Amino acid sequence: MSVLSDEQRRFFDASGYLMIPGALSAAELAAVRGAADQAEARWRADPALPGTRIPEFEEIPAIMEYHPTLFDLVEHPAVFPLVRELLGTGIGLVDHAYYITPPGGHIDGTAWHTDVRTRVPGVHHAGSTMMIRAMFALTDIAADGGATLVLPGTHRQPDDTPILPVATPEEMPGAVALTCEAGTAYFFNGNLLHAPSNNRGAVTRRVLLYNYGHKWMRMWRDHEPSLRLAAAAQTSMRRQLLGLTPPYKGPDAELSAGPNE
Amino acid sequence: MSEEQRLFFNTQGYLVVPDALSIEELAAIRSEADAAEGRWRADLSLPGVRRPDLEQVLGIMEHGPALFDLLEHPRIFPLVRALLGPDVMMLDHDYFITPSGAAIPQGWHFDFDLPGVDHPRSRLMVKVFYALDDIPPDGGATLVLPASHITPGGTTLPNSEVPENLPGAVPMTLPAGSAYLINDRTYHSAGNNRSGIHRRLLIYTYGHKWMRMWDEYRPSTELAARAVTPQRRQLLGLSDPYGPPVAWEET
């Protein structure tokens, strides 16, 4: 039985993205935000921890390493079953991060890109689905608040289609800003043209990223799980997501698999 | 890679390279393969397959420098690179010994049938076979089905009880020192070995560096230490999976 409604599937197939309003309950959002705040405080206190620290963008990579709640979010029931249905039962995880976009930065139009066209060679991306990038909004994100921009339908363009040059991301004709309330999730095909927009609001934008692929794809550099995280992966699904199961053969993990089965 | 070779591979899904190895190269490689086989037979803890119809010495590059250098053989590797691109990486490497008398019922298969991938228009893998002995028509030659690589994912093709009976099958009956290449979607099978000699092949499978290597082929510490060039490190999966590929010398 499909976990995606016909409308959701049609929209994702045609547009390349999907919004899930209210993905996190108020209680879940509070717990996730608390965990993210702890991670951020630890990361700020220790500049030796990896990440991006530039005025317009801060990134804490491998965010699942920081807190069990952030690890559990990788299988959130409002999002993960949908992404799994779109990618297939051999789903894996490619990377995961916490993105913080302070107000006042400047992002130019070269920020438009797809995640897979240049990084995953050998694949005909217009006919394939190699990655789905899921984001959880931890703050309300207004149109001028650094919302992710997407160009609907571009995931099925021929792989050599040039990207229209624009001065700022917001100037791309046809761009849709994924504005949303805190607790919303959205995900998009890794071949969809997308860009961050400039945060001209007053609120720092905070989103968690979980980028899914196939279990036979390598994880992003420096995202291979620590021994501690690997030990915390107590289900076959969690092990599969962390790349701890054979890459090219089954069985694939079931959604309902319990701990230590 | 010549235009003729590229066109043939693109349309047929395989390519034969006669005389890939010189007589001297073949002798050196065969010598290391023999030594590897001797060690593997003497030590049952060494990984591989030990069946009446197939013996597989797993991770053959671990067994000798000539077997490691074969990864970048100057007559074959540039063809692989031309087909896969500069982000090429090794996925697995084995010594396959098909004993005399081996029967291979219903052996036809695709190596990859991966959900999410537009297989007919993608190229994930190129598999290179080096023949270390002459392979006669009844000697277990690999069989390939030309143009089968353009079938969509999920396609089921006939799988004859006797692999040689599949209509259109082309046997890789070749002299020692030859090489042949197939891609990830080329329908293929081992043949029955009804000759009196073992079939001996080295197999080097290449993919892209963003793909996972089988766990059992991850390079040992010793092999990784011998990968002293950026190119060799990329081939062993020791570089950034999604970063820019290394530069390769034009050949």
Chain-chain contact of A87 with B210 (C-beta, under 8 angstroms): no
Segment holding A40, helix H or strand E = helix A26-45
* Cα–Cα distance, A8 to A200 (Å, whole number): 31
Compute the nearest-CA separation of A160 from chain B (Å).
14
* Distances in whole angstroms, Cα of residue A165 to Cα of each of A112, A170, B38, B200: 9, 12, 62, 55
DSSP state of B229: S
Altogether, the residues listed in chain B come to a count of: 251
Q: Please provide the average confidence, as pLDDT, over all residues in chain A.
A: 95
DSSP string, B70-139: GGG-TTTHHHHHHHH-TTEEEEEEEEEEE-TT---TT--B-S---TT--GGG----EEEEEESS---TTB
- How close, in Å, is residue A30 to chain B by CA atoms? 34
Nearest neighbour of A130 by CB, restricted to B116, B209, B215: B116
- The whole-angstrom distance between A250's CA and the closest CA on chain B is 12
- Are B48 and B41 in contact by the 8 Å Cβ rule? The answer is no
Q: CA of B189 to nearest chain A CA: how many angstroms apart?
A: 19
Q: How close does chain B come to A130, measured CA to CA in Å?
A: 6
CA atoms within 13 A on the CB side of A14: 6
How many angstroms away from the CA of A90 is the closest CA of chain B? 8
Minimum Cα–Cα distance from A213: chain B residue: B116
Contacting A residues, span 52-91, partner chain B, CB-CB under 8 Å = 87-90
Is the Cβ–Cβ distance between B95 and B31 less than 8 Å? no
- pLDDT tier for residue B101 given thresholds of 50, 70 and 90: confident
Q: Which amino acid is at B74?
A: P
What is the distance in angstroms between the Cα of A200 and the nearest Cα belonging to chain B?
Answer: 31
Nearest-by-CA chain A residue for B183: A122
CB contact (8 A) between residue A90 and residue B123: no
Taking only the tens place, the pLDDT of each residue in A190-213 is 999 999 999 999 999 999 999 999
Radius of gyration for chain A, computed over Cα atoms and rounded to the nearest angstrom: 18
Sheet holding A91-101, edge to edge: A17-20, A185-189, A132-137, A205-214, A91-101, A57-61, A52-54
Judged by a CB distance cut-off of 8 A, whether residue A247 touches chain B is yes
**Alpha-carbon gap: A3 to the closest alpha carbon of chain B (Å):** 18
Question: What tokens does B175 get?
Answer: 């002299």
pLDDT band with cut points at 50, 70 and 90 for residue B250 = low
Does B251 score more than 60 pLDDT? Answer: no
Cα torsion B225, B230, B231, B233: sign? positive
Q: For residues A68 and A31, what is the distance between their CA atoms, to the nearest angstrom?
A: 11
Examine the pLDDT at A258 and tell me if it is beyond 50: no
Q: Where does the pLDDT of residue B153 fall: very low under 50, low under 70, confident under 90, or very high at 90 and above?
A: confident
Tell me whether residue A69 is exposed, middle or buried, using C-beta atoms within 10 angstroms of its C-beta: 0 to 12, 13 to 18, 19 or more: middle
CB-count burial class (<10 Å; 0-12, 13-18, 19+) for A206: buried
pLDDT classification of B103: cutoffs 50, 70, 90: confident
Assess contact for A197 and A189: CB atoms under 8 A: no
Q: Do B209 and A218 touch (CB under 8 A)?
A: yes
Checking if the pLDDT of A259 tops 70, the result is no
Shortest CA distance to A62 belongs to which of A101, A94, A102, A30?
A94
What ipTM, to 2 d.p.? 0.93
Max Cα-Cα span within chain B: 49
Can you tell me the distance from the alpha carbon of A97 to that of B17, in angstroms, rounded to the nearest whole number? 47
Coil, strand, or helix at residue A151?
coil
In A, minimum Cα distance to B184 occurs at A122
Separation CA B251–CA B245 (nearest Å): 17
Q: What is the mean pLDDT of chain B?
A: 94
* Token pair 């899921």: residue: A134
Q: Kindly determine whether residue A126 and residue B114, on different chains, have CB atoms separated by under 8 Å.
A: no
Residue with tokens 């001209």: A200
Alpha-carbon torsion, ordered A135, A138, A140, A142, to 10 deg: -40
Residue B228 — very low, low, confident or very high, per pLDDT cuts 50/70/90? very high
CA B130 to chain CA mean position, Å = 8
Residue B214 above 60 pLDDT?
yes
Probe site for chain B from A216, A222, A241, A244 (most B CB atoms < 10 A) = A216
Q: Which long-range contacts (C-beta less than 8 Å, at least 24 apart) are formed by A25-28?
A: A25/A183, A26/A183, A28/A183
User: Which stretches of chain B are DSSP H helices?
Assistant: 3-12, 23-42, 65-69, 77-84, 221-226, 230-235
Closest residue to A218, CB basis, from B121, B212, B215: B212
What confidence score (pLDDT) does residue A105 get? Answer: 82
Angle at B242 between CA B239 and CA B246, to 5 degrees: 50
| A167: pLDDT strictly greater than 60 | yes
Report CB contact under 8 Å: B212, A87. Answer: no
At A242, list the tokens: 């962390």
Sort out which chain B residues have CB atoms less than 8 A from A248's CB and list them: 112, 212, 214
Structure tokens belonging to residue B228: 């002293």
- CA nearest B6: which of B181, B130, B127? B181
Residue B169 exposure: Cα atoms within 13 Å on the Cβ side: 25
Test mutation, B89, B92, B109, B122, chain A, max A CBs within 10 A: B122
pLDDT per residue over A29-62, tens digit each?
999 999 999 999 999 999 999 999 998 899 999 9
Are B73 and B235 in contact, with CB atoms under 8 Å apart?
Answer: no
Say yes or no to pLDDT of B181 above 90.
Answer: yes
In chain A, residues with a C-beta closer than 8 Å to the C-beta of B126 are none
Six-digit token string for A180: 């949303």
- Helix axis angle for B3-12 and B77-84, nearest 10°, is 60
CB pairs under 8 A between A and B: 76
- Chain A residues whose CB is inside 8 A of the B114 CB are 90, 214, 216
Residue B126: closest CA among chain A residues belongs to which residue?
A122
- Using the beta-carbon criterion (under 8 Å), do B208 and A219 form an inter-chain contact? no
pLDDT confidence of residue A260: 39
Q: Which residues, listed in sequence order, are joined to residue A195 by a DSSP beta bridge?
A: A149
R_g of chain B, CA atoms, integer Å: 17
Length of chain A: 261
Q: What are A3's strand-pairing partners?
A: none
| Rounded Cα gap, residues A129 and A135, in angstroms | 17
- Residues in B closer than 8 angstroms to A218, CB to CB, are 209-212, 237, 241-242
**Interatomic CA distance for residues B186 and B195, integer angstroms:** 25
Range B7-32 average pLDDT: 96
Does any CB of chain B come closer than 8 Å to the CB of residue A165? no
Show residues of chain B in contact with A219, CB under 8 Å.
241
If you average pLDDT over residues B186-203, what whole number do you get? 92
* Contact residues on chain B for A220, CB-CB shorter than 8 A: 241-242
State the pLDDT at residue B145: 96
Q: Which residues of B touch A127 (CB under 8 A)?
A: 118, 121
Q: Is the pLDDT of residue A257 over 70?
A: no
